[in-house]
Chain A
Amino acid sequence: MIELGRQAILIALLIAAYSIVMALLGGWTRRRDFVASAENGALAVWGAVLVAATILLHALVTRDFSIEYVAAYSSSTLPLYYSIAALWGGQKGSLLFWALILTSFSAVVVLQNRHRHRELMPYVVATLMSIALFFLCLLFFITPPFETLAVPAREGRDLNPLLQNYWMTIHPPSLYLGFVGMSVPFAFAIAALATGKLDTTWIRTTRRWTLFAWFFLSLGNLFGALWAYEVLGWGGYWAWDPVENAAFMPWLTGTAFLHSVMVQEKKNMLKVWNMVLIIMTFSLTIFGTFLTRSGVISSVHSFTQSGLGPFFLGFLALILVVSISLLLLRLPMLRSEAELDSLLSRESTFLFNNLILVGIAFAVFWGTMFPVISEAVRGVKITVGPPFFNKVNAPLGLILLFLMGVGPVIAWRRASWAHLRRTFAAPVTTGLVAGAACFIGGIRNYWAIVSFSLIFFVLATIFVEFYRGVRARQAMVGDNFLRALVQLISRNRRRYGGYIVHIGIVMIFVAITGTSAFRIEKQVTLNVGEIFEIGGYELRYDGLEERDTLHIAYLMARLEVYENGNHVDTLLPEKRFYKKPEQPTTEVAIRSTLGSDLYLVLGSYDAETRMATILAYLNPLIGFLYWGGAVLTLGTFVVILPVGATAPAAAYTASPIEATETRVSSR
């Protein structure tokens, strides 16, 4: 079996190389049989990688400790779901998992486009297989996952205890789906550049792929934040760690891309910029992987570090050279005769939205790399930590929030002052009232006041949009409110799904504002029976409890939680001792309500006196992080799922200008 796994990787590598050659030959000579052979090759590569991944997974599940990877990342007592998650828990397995996702996506692309986009497909296949070839080369030559031990281990070293958390089963896969998903629009962009077919075909074809990748990148970031919140035990969820930044940067540029492609679709503008954005986004996914694996910057994700950095850097350089060369070659063709009727238009707002998103991405990039730059320039090591990122990104984030309210509702082409007054009077008033209410309510953190004002402003713009749409539909068709709402959304899912996604993002802003501005922390050392108070809760410490299993020994502090004199919860913050790696971890205990989280950490304890030091945090509004993610998911599903037909641009659903343009362009 092990040999079969090794051979499967070699076969995949050889076929990927063959597919690249045949695809390029087929593209140049217009030989359909060559292209078909390359596409079949891509399917075969997927099959071979699937075989390899299945064999490694089987080895993990059956605990075959003769394989070095299995012995290093699992153990006989590791629960089954973590044994499965160990596939992406270490360097070699995660690269194989990456290759599996990439080749699976490639196979889907090939099957989707058997009879479509025949001019683009040779280059799409060549690009995707080139990326696959890089990963397969790493897997075969540098980090082979099927390396065997000279003497099979009797027991595995176990998965890193920090990774033994349920988020491990979903956070890395989500992030990988997002990272790898960006390969598809990138491949189509390269194909468009290579063929000179630079119309909106590549954008329209990959719209769902881009959304899919963006969605999983969003979830990946969110799950990572929640994982850090629940595992690292410092009461927060985002520490601007280099690896967090690595996943956040492509999300930012990907978000900019999602918005700016709309301008190209509607107005045939920003062709160069869209190319730049997708190249940037894909490059940042590789750059992120470089950051994670190279160890060039210290990170909490140090378990993923290895000597692979130079390979990723080389690959990144190759991607940039090829992409930028093609872009420069096609620059004259990409220059559109862009026309703009007014600075007050959706086109302009989207451009500024792009600017801020890319500006934040740059700030994150700059802050992440600045220690390296400082060391190179001054020879002095410095740290760029959370205070820097928070100070730099807070104003940019608030500008972005403001644009999120303006962009979707301002008119395409030209917004008159009358239109602006009519559209924004109620939302601006709502925002100002919210700000005043915050001030009257005693809030003196001005960042928080501005943030809440903008949050209410954005929500009001979205509410007005839904309200007007529903009223118009009720007036035309006579539906009841709920039916009119459902019909409104289902007839223009892209537009209204987008609004729902925005609501999700706004909810995440609520959580960020609440936890940044109003967090309460307390550290107490308690004897058994003592109580302390935090944010309206009273907590009584009832002593330490112990539990022992084959895999983990637990030590828990029992705290009874009271609110207004009523017992509302029992919380058990823990110290865990993982037996295989002999490593202690901290497990927090959380009482979640919509308003806030009571978050407890067992800091230290005295086994003899049973005294315990508890770190207690009250994190206001953090529940909005979870619910924001759920709403974002709902909105993306509304946009992406091919359920029912999207109605043609009806007067009362799509923007009338869009409808007018469609009619004009069809003549």
Chain B
Amino acid sequence: MLALPSSVAVSVAVAEPSFRELEGSLTCQCGCGLTVQTCNHLQCPSAIPLRQEIRSEMALGKTKEVILDHFAEKYGEKILSSPTTTGFNLTAWVMPFLIVGLGTLFVLFTLLRWRKRTDLPSPTNTGATPPSGADMSEHKKTLERELENFES
């Protein structure tokens, strides 16, 4: 173990989850584009007072939602690091999943359409004498078995 000196470090751990969560939910207004949690500008004129304000609000025993409402009211919605989940802002959250969901339906629909097309009898076969159903199915099974073994 490292020998401890006579004085012990004054350690200010900032690991309380609610404080960190609140820091992460607010955007630093100094122009760094980071959250209050991640802004590390020396003597930042925005992040430092905001952190103090978070602590004061927490000391009043307010919930996360109430504290965030307080900040949004005081500084405007732009201080929140994510859009709220109400009103028009809800579209920010919903649209990506809506697009992926609709895309999934479209892809499934397309794949099924292509599959149906595959299942239709090929026009090139019409002139020739078709092998009997039993023969075809036997051939198909053999081919698929061989292809499968081949691939492995």
- Interface of A with B (CB < 8 Å)? 232-236, 239, 241, 269, 298-300, 302, 337-343, 348, 351-352, 355-356, 358-359, 362-363, 366-367, 370-371, 374, 377-378, 380-388, 391-392, 396, 411, 414, 416, 418-419, 422, 468, 521-527, 529-532, 538, 540-541, 562, 564-565, 575, 584, 586, 601, 603-604, 615, 651, 655-657, 660
Q: 0/1 per residue, B110-146, Cβ < 8 Å to A?
A: 1110110110000000000000000000000000100
Tell me if A338 and B40 are in contact (CB < 8 A).
Answer: no
Flag if A656 contacts B10 (CB, 8 Å): no
Say yes or no: B38 contacts A377, CB within 8 Å. Answer: no
Residues A387 and B24 in contact in the complex (CB < 8 Å), given A339-B118, A358-B103: yes
Provided the pairs A351-B107, A351-B111 are in contact, do residues A388 and B83 lie with their beta carbons within 8 angstroms? yes
Given the complex of chains A and B, what is the CA–CA distance between A522 and B14 in angstroms?
A: 6
* B118 in contact with A656 (CB, 8 Å): no
Show 15 A/B contacts (Cβ-Cβ < 8 Å), sorted by A. Answer: A233-B40, A235-B38, A352-B104, A355-B103, A370-B92, A374-B83, A384-B82, A385-B27, A387-B25, A387-B82, A392-B97, A414-B144, A524-B9, A603-B40, A656-B147
Q: How far is the CB of B102 from chain A (nearest CB, A)?
A: 10
In the complex, chain B residues whose CB is within 8 Å of the CB of A234: 34, 38-40
Number of B residues, CB within 8 Å of A:
60
A337 to B111, CA, bound (A): 12
List, in ascending order, chain A residues with CB within 8 A of B33's CB: 239, 241, 298-300, 385
In the complex the two chains form, is B9's CB within 8 Å of A352's CB? Answer: no
Rounded to whole Å, the gap between the CB of B74 and the closest CB of chain A is 15
Residues in B neighbouring A530, C-beta threshold 8 A: 5, 7-10
List the A residue with the shortest CB-CB distance to B146. A656
- The reply to whether the CB of B60 lies closer than 8 angstroms to some CB of chain A is no
Contact yes or no, B117 A532, CB < 8 A = no
**B34:A239 contact, CB within 8 angstroms:** yes
Partner of B92, one of A236, A352, A384: A384
Closest 5 CB pairs of A and B: A363-B96, A385-B81, A656-B150, A340-B114, A359-B100
Cα separation A651 to B147 with both chains bound (whole Å): 11
Per-residue CB proximity of B29-57 to A under 8 Å, as 1/0? 00111110011101100000000000000
Given A234-B38, A384-B82, A419-B148, is A523 in contact with B12 using a C-beta cutoff of 8 Å?
Answer: yes
Please tell me if the beta carbons of B24 and A540 are within 8 angstroms of each other in the complex: no
Contact in complex: B118, A385 (CB < 8 Å)? no
Q: Which residues on the A side are within 8 Å of B11 (C-beta)?
A: 522, 524, 532
Determine the residue in chain A with the shortest Cβ distance to B25: A387
Q: A381-B76, A416-B148, A660-B147 are in contact. Are A603 and B42 (CB under 8 A)?
A: yes
The number of inter-chain residue pairs (CB within 8 angstroms) is 192
Cα–Cα distance between A543 and B70 once the two chains are bound (Å): 41
Q: How far is the CB of A130 from chain B (nearest CB, A)?
A: 31
Partner of A531, one of B4, B12, B80, B150: B4
Asked if B73 is at the interface of the complex by the 8 Å CB criterion, the answer is no
Asked whether, in the complex, the Cβ of A526 is within 8 Å of the Cβ of B148, the reply is no
Which A residues touch B2, using CB under 8 A?
531, 538, 540, 562, 565
A173: shortest Cβ distance to chain B, in Å? 24
Q: Is the CB of A383 within 8 A of B80?
A: yes
A529–B93 Cα distance when bound, in Å, is 49
Query: What is the chain B residue whose CB lies nearest that of A538?
Result: B2
Complex-state Cα separation, A522 to B111, whole angstroms: 52
Q: Is B59 an interface residue (CB 8 A)?
A: no
Residues of A within 8 A of B152 (CB): 419, 422, 468
- Residue pair A523, B24 in contact (C-beta under 8 Å): no
Residue among B14, B97, B111, B144 making CB contact with A343, cutoff 8 Å: B111
Give Cα A293 to B107, complex, Å: 36
B115 touches A343 (CB 8 A): yes
Q: How far apart sit A549 and B89, CA to CA, in the bound complex (Å)? A: 51
CB distance from B24 to the nearest CB of A (A): 6
Given contacts A341-B118, A359-B100, A530-B10, contact A352 B107 (CB under 8 A): yes
Set A339, A524, A562: member contacting B114, Cβ < 8 A = A339
Q: Please measure, in the bound complex, the distance between the C-alpha atom of A380 and the C-alpha atom of B87, giving whole angstroms.
A: 12
Report how far A359 CA is from B101 CA in the complex, Å.
Answer: 9
A529-B5, A565-B1 given. 19 additional CB < 8 A pairs? A239-B34, A239-B38, A298-B33, A338-B114, A339-B114, A362-B99, A362-B100, A383-B27, A385-B27, A387-B35, A388-B83, A391-B82, A396-B96, A396-B100, A524-B11, A527-B10, A529-B7, A532-B9, A532-B11
Assess the B79–A383 pair: CB atoms within 8 A: yes
Contact B151 A337 (CB under 8 A): no
B93 to chain A, nearest CB (A): 7
**In whole Å, how far is B139's beta carbon from the nearest beta carbon of chain A?**
15
Task: Output the residue of B8, B15, B38, B77 with the most chain A CB within 10 A.
Answer: B38
In the assembled complex, the Cα of A562 lies from the Cα of B2 at a distance in Å of: 7
**Cβ-defined partner of B100 (8 Å) among A235, A355, A378, A526:** A355
Complex Cα–Cα for A300 and B2 (A): 40
Across the two chains, which residue of chain B brings its CB closest to A389?
A: B82
Contact partner of B82 (CB less than 8 A), chosen from A300, A342, A348, A388, is: A388
Bound: A562/B8 CA distance, A: 16
Chain B minimum-CB-distance residue to A413: B147
- Whether A236 contacts B103 by the Cβ 8 Å rule is no
- Chain A residues within 8 Å of B14, by CB: 521-523
Which of the residues A521, A604, A655 comes within 8 Å of B151, measured between beta carbons? A655
- Knowing A239-B33, A239-B34, A382-B80, say if A339 contacts B9 (CB, 8 Å): no
Bound complex: CA A388 to CA B27 (Å): 12
B62 at interface (Cβ–Cβ under 8 A)? Answer: no
How many whole Å from A305's CB to the nearest CB in chain B?
12
**Smallest beta-carbon distance A294→chain B, Å:** 16
Tell whether, in the assembled complex, residue B151 and residue A411 are in contact, meaning their CB atoms are under 8 Å apart: yes
Complex contact A522–B35 (CB within 8 A): no
- Checking B42, B77, B117 against A382 with a beta-carbon cut-off of 8 angstroms, the contacting residue is B77
- Indicate if the CB atoms of A527 and B27 lie closer than 8 Å: no
**Does the CB pair A604–B42 fall under 8 Å?**
yes
The reply to whether A339 and B34 contact each other, CB–CB distance below 8 Å, is no
Residue of A299, A386, A538 ringed by the most chain B CB atoms within 10 A: A386
User: When chains A and B are docked, how far (Å) is the Cα of A362 from the Cα of B99?
Assistant: 8
- How far is B118's CA from A348's CA once the two chains are assembled, in angstroms? 14
Closest beta carbon of chain B to A424's beta carbon, Å: 13
Q: Which residue of B lies closest to A385 (CB)?
A: B81
Are B118 and A604 in contact (CB-based, < 8 A)?
no
Name the contact of A362 in the complex, choosing from B12, B78, B96 (C-beta under 8 A). Answer: B96
Residue of B whose beta carbon sits closest to that of A358? B103
Name the A residues within 8 Å of B89 (CB-CB).
374, 382
Neighbour of B40 across the interface among A385, A586, A655, CB < 8 A: A586
CB-CB under 8 A from A532, the residues of chain B are: 9, 11
CA distance A388 to B80 in the complex (A): 11
Q: Note all chain A residues with C-beta closer than 8 A to B76.
A: 380-381
Contacts of B100 in A (CB 8 A): 355-356, 359, 362, 396
Q: Is the CB of A355 within 8 A of B107?
A: yes
- Closest chain A CB from B30 CB (angstroms): 11
- Complex Cα–Cα for A458 and B60 (A): 49
What's the least CB distance linking B40 to chain A, in Å? 5
Rounded to whole angstroms, the CA-CA distance of A381 and B29 in the bound complex is 13
A403 nearest CB across to chain B (Å): 12
Interface centre among A371, A385, A529, A564 (most CB of B within 10 A): A385
Contact, CB under 8 Å: B12 / A359: no
A348 close to B9 (CB less than 8 A): no
